[in-house]
Chains A and B, each alone.
Chain A
């Protein structure tokens, strides 16, 4: 352990601002990357699922229309 107390750890030998700025900014950027990656993956899946559902509904409606057409004749 290089530091005597938690306060001296936070102080970083007087370089607190620069060290914590670097670590904080890096963590923020990496978390942003991870979350945007997961979000866009979910989004892509949801979009395709929605498209599939819409097509299924369309097919069903068409099938029903065909059935009602054939019964009315």
Chain B
């Protein structure tokens, strides 16, 4: 029996998850569409005044990104749990955090990355000042992985629960607050042409913190909830 190296395992799981996702393209696109629709609802609800919208644009984009991520989290482990492949991963000789890291990475590639790509278009719809675009891009680049990591803990805890969707949002959203605060403040600061390195550094710290800790928490949670 040949044993796989960590890197091979990681690549294998990542590739598998991406392949499955590309077979169900609509499921992949839904969170993205949701993101776009929610953002367009705000001008309709608040009014089209350019300065009002520009002022609340960072908040709108980030809150919508949180909700879109949340929407896609529910199925992160669910399909694997239903067809039994999750249990195969749990009993395999490879360390669990490799699997969870690969699955979370796949989740980010499928939901976080598309959000980053559409965000500039939506920012234009909300009249975000031009000098804020780089801040928007950087905060999303560093912040959306944090959302995936933290959310994966919630998804792992609720994988065995039948109607876990609302429960998942209840337990995950409070954990997203720091990212939301620092990301929107970085974008606001950038709109005043001030340096926003501090906020970015904190988001980066959150990213590395969750990168190192979340896979273990996810592993422990999966062990508990699949029993």
User: In the complex, are there CB atoms of A and B closer than 8 Å?
Assistant: no
Interface residues of A (CB under 8 A from B): none
B interface with A by C-beta (< 8 Å): none
